[in-house]
Structure formats: structure tokens, C-alpha cells
């Protein structure tokens, strides 16, 4: 099936398990227009305007940072921040976990565009620790920590481990950068305010289209000096679009409610783990929830898992997951569940009905 056909099949389903409810453009734009009218929003010009600056100040205050810059993409934001960090620290070497978005999804941009060099840090299946950092003999200019770590099911370091990393980086004058694309989802696990989690990170990147559900956009936070430099580099790299207004409106109009929902989403994830104990064919990672997301491992390969998903969608109107991927073991695959408002409001009986269909199909596939 083509991507367009898969999207149409998903839209045809009456029950969708992962993520937030997807609004169609007419619905989303109408809601944005109403919010703009109610809040007397005016367009920005190249990022300058009351709407953008007020939102930047709001997020900077929330995370305890001096300044913030609304950016178009996280891909542009993070490599820019790390390039500047390396220039300041006198080393162009950055420590990255093997599952870092920069390494896995960005087509070697940091190397081909000559931003910095990287070395891998820690085990690919676990959050990295201060001992992993100390094991690197070279002088490192910066390290990146993703909170939570999406590629390994939303795992997080313990608070003590994170505190050790912060202290060591400060002691050794290593720039500590946070990939906080899903930072909002980490707060319930740590049960601490966001500014405390972000404390002692020299720079922080956050996203507004994942858990927040906006159209796109990101933000870089740090010292005023760092943000001033980043603003110039965004222009140099073509990231200074004429209007940021649509992206900021889509995020700002629902930001407070999405943040307020995070605790309930985490609690729902905890209850999902209890439901999943009744389905031993589905293996979860991590073993206990650390964010409102998880990975489910299946006893069939990626292609068969996708066929089962599509068959259940066509016959029963239930959309089980997005993309399945191969794993290290043959005849096994994995998919991700982001626990959003759809699973939050879904009765357990309806969820079990969907899982019963899925597990029955997996059993038939194994014959």
C-alpha cells in the first residue's frame, strides 16, 4: 500500500489506539482562527511580534532559561546548538547515544554540513550514565541527552543518574544539551517541575508537534548569548521563515491543556501495562512505564504485522499502530504506542476487544 492509501485506511477507522485525535485541516484551521480572534493575534515578521515573543518568554520561564528562540524544525535546531557549543568549548566532538535522532534520522547532517564530529556514548539499549561519559578519552565539547529516549521505548535515567551527569559536565566544562522533543512526557516520571529537570542543561530543545499536537515547530532555550548566536545561524541556514504565526498559534492555543493532561496520560499508561499482562504474546519495553509511551514486541515479522494491522482496520475499523519495524531477532517485530487522548478516553473493554482480535491474528500467523 502507498502512504496515501495507508493514511486513508487509518482515517476510515472508528477506533484508533495510538496518539492524539487527528483533526482535519478545516477543523484545525477553524479552531486556530477562533483562538486568533479571541486573543487579537497579529502576524509576526521573520519571528518578530508579540505572539512569538510572548510564547518564547512563557516557555523560557517554564524551563528556567534566560532566553528562547522559536525554530521551524528540531533537525535544524539541535545541530545548530551543538555546533555553537563546540565552538565555545574548543572541541568539535559531541557525545551522542547510538539512538540519538541525529545519528538515526538525520542522514549524517552533522558531518556532511561540517557542524561537528560525533562519538557514540553508552549502550544502544539503555540510557547512558556518567560512567559511559568518563570512558571517552578524548576531549568532548558537548553531549546530548534525550529525555525520554524514544528509540528505546521512552526510557529515562534515574534522577540520581541525571544529577551525576549534570555535576560531571559542569565540573569538566562539557556543554550539556537536552533533546527534549518529549520533555513534557518526562515530568510525570520524575515528579519534579520542568525547570528543575532542565536545570544545569546549558541548552534545551523542545518540540511542539509531538505530545503538544501542533502543526510543527520547535524551540531552543539557553543563555541570551547562545540564543543570539543561534538566531544568526538560523538565518544563515535558511530557517528564518517569513511567518511563524501558524506554527506558534497551533502550539500556543493548546499548550496549557496538553501539559495539564500529561499526568493523566502517564497514569493511563500505567493502567495499560496492567491490561497487557493478560496478553503474554505482546512483550513491552520498558518493563515498567517511564513515560506515556512504550514499545510492543510481536512474534511475527514486520511485513506480517503490517498485514494484520491492515486486515483488522479493513474488517473491524480498528487502527492498532503506526509503523512496525524489524528487530534483531528473526520473525519478530516491534511498534510504538504513544499514549495520547485516544487511549486516555478509551474504555478498557474496547481496548481488550481490539487486543483480542490482534492476538488471535498473531496466533494464526504463527501456525
Type and span of the H or E element at 222: strand 218-222
The grid coordinates of residue 154 equal: 521512552
Question: Which ranges in the chain are annotated with CATH 3.90.1150.10?
Answer: 3-22+257-365
Fold of 41-243: 3.40.640
What's the CATH class of domain 3-22+257-365?
alpha beta
Q: What is the pLDDT of residue 366?
A: 61
**What are the DSSP calls for 285-310, one per residue?**
ESSS-SSSEEEEEESS-HHHHHHHHH
Averaged confidence pLDDT in the chain: 96
81 beta partners: none
Q: What is the mean pLDDT of residues 221-243?
A: 96
220 beta partners: 69, 205
State pLDDT tens for residues 321-358.
999 999 999 999 999 999 999 999 999 999 999 999 99
Residue 247 has pLDDT above 60, yes or no: yes
State pLDDT tens for residues 95-122.
999 999 999 999 999 999 999 999 999 9
Amino acid at each position: 500500500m502507498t502512504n496515501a492509501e495507508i493514511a486513508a485506511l487509518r482515517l476510515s477507522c472508528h477506533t484508533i489506539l495510538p496518539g492524539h485525535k487527528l483533526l482535519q485541516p478545516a477543523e484545525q484551521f477553524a479552531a486556530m482562527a477562533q483562538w486568533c480572534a479571541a486573543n487579537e493575534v497579529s502576524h509576526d515578521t521573520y519571528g518578530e511580534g508579540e505572539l512569538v515573543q510572548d510564547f518564547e518568554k512563557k516557555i523560557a520561564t517554564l524551563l528556567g532559561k534566560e532566553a528562547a528562540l522559536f525554530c521551524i524544525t528540531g533537525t535544524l535546531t539541535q545541530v545548530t546548538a551543538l555546533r555553537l557549543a563546540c565552538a565555545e568549548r574548543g572541541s568539535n566532538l559531541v557525545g551522542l547515544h547510538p539512538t540519538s535522532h541525529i545519528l538515526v534520522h538525520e542522514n549524517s547532517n552533522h558531518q556532511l554540513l561540517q557542524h561537528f564530529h560525533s562519538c557514540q556514548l553508552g549502550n544502544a539499549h539503555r540510557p547512558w550514565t556518567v560512567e559511559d561519559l568518563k570512558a571517552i578519552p578524548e576531549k568532548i565539547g558537548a553531549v546530548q541527552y534525550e529525555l525520554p529516549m524514544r528509540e528505546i521505548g521512552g526510557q529515562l535515567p534515574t534522577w540520581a543518574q541525571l544529577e551525576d551527569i549534570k555535576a560531571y559536565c559542569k565540573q569538566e566544562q562539557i556543554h550539556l544539551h537536552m533533546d527534549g522533543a518529549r520533555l513534557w512526557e518526562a515530568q510525570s516520571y520524575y515528579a519534579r517541575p520542568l525547570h528543575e529537570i532542565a536545570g544545569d542543561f546549558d541548552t534545551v530543545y523542545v518540540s511542539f508537534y509531538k505530545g503538544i499536537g501542533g502543526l510543527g515547530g520547535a524551540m531552543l532555550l539557553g543563555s541570551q548569548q547562545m540564543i543570539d548566536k543561534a538566531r544568526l545561524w538560523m538565518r544563515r541556514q535558511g530557517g528564518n521563515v517569513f511567518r511563524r504565526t501558524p506554527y506558534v498559534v497551533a502550539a500556543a492555543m493548546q499548550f496549557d491543556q496538553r501539559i495539564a493532561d500529561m499526568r493523566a496520560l502517564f497514569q493511563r499508561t500505567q493502567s495499560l501495562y496492567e491490561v497487557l499482562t493478560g496478553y503474554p504474546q505482546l512483550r513491552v519495553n520498558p518493563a515498567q512505564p517511564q513515560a506515556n509511551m512504550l514499545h510492543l514486541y510481536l512474534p511475527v515479522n514486520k511485513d506480517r504485522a503490517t498485514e494484520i494491522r491492515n486486515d483488522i482496520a479493513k474488517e473491524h475499523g480498528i487502527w492498532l499502530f503506526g509503523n512496525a519495524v524489524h528487530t534483531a531477532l528473526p520473525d519478530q517485530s516491534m511498534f510504538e504506542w504513544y499514549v495520547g487522548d485516544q487511549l486516555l478516553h478509551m474504555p478498557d473493554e474496547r481496548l481488550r476487544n481490539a487486543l483480542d482480535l490482534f492476538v488471535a491474528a498473531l496466533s494464526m500467523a504463527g501456525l
